[in-house]
Amino acid sequence: MLETLKIRNLAVIDQAEVDFAQGLNILSGETGAGKSIVIEAISLLLGSRASTELVRTGCDEAVVEGVFNLERLPGIRARLVELGLCEQGDEAPAELLIKRTVNRSGRHRILINGELATLGNLQALCEGLVDLCSQHEHQSLIKPATQLDLLDRYGNLMKQRDAVSAAYAEVRALKAEAEKLSQDESARLKRLDFLRFQIDELRTAGLAPGEDSKLQQEKTLLQSAQVRLQAIEQARVLIEESEDGNTLQTLQMAIQRLGTLVSADERARPLVEGLERALAEVEEVSLSLNRYAKSVDLDPARLEQVQERLSLIADLRRKYGESVETMLSQLSELESEFDSLTHSEQRLGEIEASLEKSATQLKALCAKLSDARTKVSGRLADAVTVELRELNMGDARFAIELVSIAGDLAACSASGADQIQFVVQTNRGETARPLGKIASGGELSRLMLAIRRVIADRGGIGVYLFDEIDAGMGGQTAFQVGRKLKSVASHNQVICITHLPQVASFADHHLVVRKSAQGKRTMTEIVSLAASDKKLRQEELARMLGGPVLTRKSLENAAELMEMARK
């Protein structure tokens, strides 16, 4: 459900924060007060295109934020993981925070639970989160895909449909593999020759993991052999053979000189011992230098071999990857493809056998789903027709035209093999027409409400948003619309914008949109009428009944409406 909506600098709304509740939320207010801006704000949260014209005059940007509770919507929580907006394995969040910033410069921004997201991600995430119902937003209801979804939800057929979807995916995968193996024979042979060349080239190279880095280190050592020997010899001479006095001789002489001092003053002994330790360290370094010099390899032939090997690896790198490990992985893939093409005829036969079996299973599952839909469609049609009668469309007849083509594999899809169309006969003696061809906005609105009333307890939708679908109605019909909305709200959160007091009298949570002039600017505010404050609710209903001047009669009529709605 939608818990909170925050709006800043959007059209005529300077700043507003709206808290919605479970049940039926009613928004009322004078025409032009800004109720449509609330719809615009929610539409932005769902992924509608943002226009810079929405930014309030004199402001640089408009901001809309919404908080949705996801406890009853596990599907939306799963999408957060699928879209990379929540880490796999982490506990899916219980809330969804969406923030959209519309900048006058055109630099818009979307944040989902604090993470930057694209418009495509937002649209994919919010699909089915809010069902927007209005006289001008019925396009989804006339789409065959939507009609199939409604039918399957009503009949609890989603498990059967998932089985069809899985079987369809398997058939598609087998078809793709069969087509790949059935490619032109000459092309297959050419590919085999090319693969054979690449495999031979990599195998002949005899690459080993990490070989390139080891060779590079060896090359560095071989190239620096002469320089290293010169450094060793210079250090050795300074320690052992310098004509001006080498280090060993100097230390030995110093020890002898201090030795005479010790006989006279015992305190000088630590000095002698320190020099003796230094002499031992220098002698050890001298021995190590000699050993290191013997280990230095002056081998021009080996250097040439290493350079040639590195040159070969560099040539292969341009063809097969940046490292030896990548080349070895590429070799494995090439060998796998070569093996697959070599045994393609045998594999093709196996795949075709599997494809035939899977296709038979898919057609059977589609046929079973079609039979179930046929049985359910009659019940759904009857249920919607009953709802239409209660909405004062007594002569209306709702029907579902369902055509199964499950025997044709080409007609099977992830959603089955049925062609569907919702039709309605609005008046006795008239021809039933598709939903999209209903002329009366009032009739279409009531039909939309009837369908949603029938399927409201089937789950899958987070919020139902009704935008003045009661336009053109009045009297008893309007009261019945309010009662139906209240019924839908017993299973789902409903947000309804209305001008009719008959509808508003059923509110669990009533919000009033008010417009006022402050200085040279028009300001819009959204005020919540506490459910416990009957006086404020009564006055708002009286205003809706009789205009801004409240009379005793309008207040009495409002009180009567509230009493009737409670029955």
Strand boundaries in 117-184, DSSP class E: 130-134
Same domain flag for 223 and 122:
no
Instruction: Evaluate if pTM is beyond 0.95.
Output: no
pLDDT the model gives residue 266: 81
Rounded Cα distance between 531 and 561, Å, is 15
Same domain flag for 124 and 3:
yes
Residue 12 lies in a domain: yes
Q: pLDDT of 7-32, one tens digit each?
A: 999 988 888 899 999 999 999 888 77
Same domain flag for 120 and 11:
yes
Cβ contacts of residue 541 below 8 Å, gap of 6+? Answer: 501, 504, 505, 557, 558, 561, 562
Residue 260 has φ and ψ, to the nearest 5°, of -70, -30
What single DSSP character describes residue 557?
H
Query: Per-residue confidence at 472, pLDDT binned at 50, 70, 90?
Result: low
Strand boundaries in 409-481, DSSP class E: 418-425, 433-434, 463-467
Q: What share of the chain is helix, strand, coil (3-state, %, to 5)?
A: 55, 20, 25
Q: What CATH number does residue 473 fall under?
A: 3.40.50.300
Of 292, 322, 352, which residue is a domain's last?
322
Q: pLDDT of 158-214, one tens digit each?
A: 899 999 999 999 999 999 888 877 776 668 788 889 999 999 999 988 888 888 888
Residue 390 lies in a domain: no
Same domain flag for 123 and 28:
yes
Give me the percent of the chain exceeding a pLDDT of 70: 93
Asked whether the beta carbons of 391 and 450 are under 8 A apart, the reply is: yes
Angle formed at CA 101 by CA 98 and CA 104, multiple of 5 degrees: 165
Residue 234 lies in a domain: yes
> Taking Cα atoms as reference points, which of 47, 75, 3 lies closest to residue 459?
75
Same domain flag for 119 and 4:
yes
Residue 227, domain extent: 211-322
Rounded Cα distance between 65 and 493, Å, is 18
Cβ contacts of residue 57 below 8 Å, gap of 6+? Answer: none
Alpha helical stretches, state H, 31-97: 35-46, 74-82
Asked whether the beta carbons of 341 and 261 are under 8 A apart, the reply is: no
pLDDT the model gives residue 164: 95
Residue 418 lies in a domain: no
Q: pLDDT of 394-412, one tens digit each?
A: 788 999 999 988 788 888 9
Residue 179 lies in a domain: no
Residue 104 three-state SS: coil
Same domain flag for 4 and 114:
yes
Asked whether the beta carbons of 169 and 414 are under 8 A apart, the reply is: yes
Same domain flag for 10 and 106:
yes
Q: Which amino acid, one-letter code, is at 167?
A: A
Of 322, 350, 367, which residue is a domain's last?
322
| Residue 85 predicted with pLDDT over 90 | no
- 19: burial class by Cβ within 10 Å (0-12, 13-18, 19+)? middle
Residue 3 lies in a domain: yes
Q: How many domains, in total, are found in the chain?
A: 2
Same domain flag for 3 and 121:
yes
Residue 397 lies in a domain: no
| Residue 442 predicted with pLDDT over 70 | no
Residue 66 lies in a domain: yes
Same domain flag for 9 and 122:
yes
Same domain flag for 125 and 216:
no
> Taking Cα atoms as reference points, which of 520, 512, 514 lies closest to residue 57?
520
Same domain flag for 230 and 117:
no
Query: Per-residue confidence at 140, pLDDT binned at 50, 70, 90?
Result: low
Same domain flag for 110 and 220:
no
Query: Per-residue confidence at 383, pLDDT binned at 50, 70, 90?
Result: very high
